[in-house]
Chain A
Amino acid sequence: MRALHPFTLLAVAAALPALAWILPAPAGGLATAGIAFCLLGSRGLRRGLWPALVAAAPFWLFLLLLHDVRTTLAIGLRISTMVASFVWLAAVLAPDRLVEATVARGWSITAAYLFAATLSAVPMLRARARRIVEAQRCRGLSPRGSVANRLRALRALALPLVLSALHEVDERTLALEARGLVPGARRTPLAPPPDRVVERVVRWGLLLLCLAALVRRVA
């Protein structure tokens, strides 16, 4: 799936949530959520399904508290589709390929970089959080054991994680400027991902499908 053109991946990840909201509930949501979770399943349990389930669970809980079962099902499936699509996208979309693809289309490099950096922020934060937790454990803070322990460890992690990330942004900005990432730069695509005719057809097809569904819904 990583071999697909980044725009195709984006189109799929956008079309699924769109259809989830447009198609009549709960069948539409069930179908889109089904597809999204199937896609995720291909990434494995730990890296794909698990994070999406964890992220979607609180929504279900709140919905159940606020609504009846029918509404919960309708909205829950839609939200699950959104969550699953995003997690899938973050897993399969390689930021560098996205930059290459957008640059090849003549986008400005800074806009492309900003977009891609948002996607790559998750793994980078995860790596940073791991290093902070390691250092804290080496100074005696236990992240295990009772709920109180875990909460304390989480609190000790949150602030340094955010602060150090912000701090690093400053240094990184300097480095990126120095390496030519300046507004208005015309970057040379190094290896623009190939865009096959089939994929273009699929993307247009998805767009038409969404439009058709919308028209039918409104009519």
Chain B
Amino acid sequence: MSATLRLDGVGFSYGAEAALRDVSFEVAAGERVALLGRNGAGKTTLVRLVAGLLHPDAGTVWVGGWDTGERAPEELARRVGSLFQHADQQLFARTVREDVGFGPRALGFPVHEVRRRTEEALDALALHAHAEQHPYDLPPALRKLAALAGALALEPMVLVLDEPTGGLDRGLRAQVADALREHAERGAALLVVTHDLAFAAETLDRGIVLDGGRLACDEPLATLLGSAERLKPLGLVPPTVAALSVALDLSGRPVRERDAAHALARVAGGGPGL
């Protein structure tokens, strides 16, 4: 058993329409991977396959040593935490706190363990101020955060998230980024579907791009995001930092804000204010 998450020649079709064709890749423990591609490239289908809500028509999805095609989603919940697009429909309880604890309770953890996981997840996303509110009383952005906290509380070996930052402001995005980094450091494999390439650049390391259901590219984000010519046919646009690095010819072509500021400061001779 090597990779935490492994896809082996995975294919899936909705009726006659192929959504994924022959997709293979591995994600190791602690690795932070962005799943990129234009609308309709097959990203959401892949998320549902990893969560066990769909079973591949061809190939296998492995989580640890488990074949997801042979496990029910509730069994996979011990290893996979997921966030889907309709965050609203992933909230079930009367308060945010109760909702975050839903997963650990359903998995049968003892009370003190449920409490520890719940409080840690609330902490990680700074949701304590809203813990006693009804999820639907929160604005959509915070509902998404609450649903994400519910996935974090599973403390899974794989976190697979569909657009975790849509509609979030910069402060909340930074919070999500911190929480994800922390879980990766504890050994979770991250697979994050996102259109937000700036967030991907800051938070994740490797980019897998799907195009028309096929794996179009798999490489470090640091090199991928700097190349406008390669991104364009995949429906992607370099994030601002990468564009700035190229435009000013900054050394090392940084894709993260902090690195770009350092490079800029070196060239300009000023001291970085970070």
Contact = CB atoms under 8 A, between A and B. Distances in A.
A148 to B, nearest CB: 14
A136 B93 CA distance: 11
Given A135-B84, A138-B73, A156 B107 contact: no
Contacts of B92: 132, 135-136, 156, 159-160
A142 to B, nearest CB: 4
Given A138-B80, A139-B102, A141-B106, A131 B72 contact: no
A164 interface: yes
Contacts of A137: 53, 72-74, 77
Name the residue in A144, A159, A160 with the highest tally of chain B Cβ atoms < 10 Å from its Cβ: A160
Given A134-B53, A139-B150, A140-B106, A167 B88 contact: yes
Nearest to B88: A164
B84 A144 contact: no
A143 B150 CA distance: 19
A163 interface: yes
Contact of A140 (B53, B77, B84, B93): B77
B189 interface: no
Name the residue in B51, B74, B86, B104 with the highest tally of chain A Cβ atoms < 10 Å from its Cβ: B74
Interface in B95-112: 102-104, 106-107
Where chain A touches its partner, the secondary structure class is helix
Contact of A135 (B72, B89, B93, B136): B89
A128 B53 contact: no
Contact of A163 (B74, B103, B136, B154): B136
B45 interface: no
Interface in B119-152: 136, 150-151
B76 interface: yes
Nearest to B134: A163
Interface string A42-72: 0000000000000000000000000000000
A175 B52 CA distance: 34
B86 A131 contact: yes
A201 to B, nearest CB: 40
A136 B106 contact: yes
Interface string A159-200: 110011001100000000000000000000000000000000
A168 B91 CA distance: 13
Interface residues of B, number: 29
A163 B136 CA distance: 9
Name the residue in A140, A143, A156 with the highest tally of chain B Cβ atoms < 10 Å from its Cβ: A140
Nearest to B85: A131
Nearest to A159: B92
B78 interface: yes
A181 B80 CA distance: 43
Interface in A118-132: 128, 131-132
Interface in B224-270: none
Given A128-B89, A141-B106, A167 B136 contact: yes
A124 to B, nearest CB: 12
Contacts of A136: 92, 102, 106
Contact of A138 (B76, B88, B91, B104): B76
A140 B154 contact: yes
Nearest to B92: A160
Interface in A14-46: none
A138 B51 contact: yes
B201 to A, nearest CB: 28
A178 B179 CA distance: 38
A164 B91 CA distance: 9
A189 B170 CA distance: 46
B72 A142 contact: yes
Contact of B154 (A128, A139, A142, A167): A139
Contacts of A128: 89
Contacts of B151: 139
Interface of A: 128, 131-132, 134-144, 156, 159-160, 163-164, 167-168
Given A131-B89, A132-B89, A160-B92, 14 more contacts: A128-B89, A131-B86, A135-B90, A135-B92, A136-B106, A138-B82, A139-B103, A140-B154, A141-B106, A142-B74, A156-B92, A160-B89, A163-B136, A167-B136
Nearest first, the 10 closest Cβ-Cβ pairs linking A and B are A139-B103, A140-B106, A140-B77, A140-B107, A137-B73, A135-B90, A141-B106, A160-B92, A142-B74, A137-B74
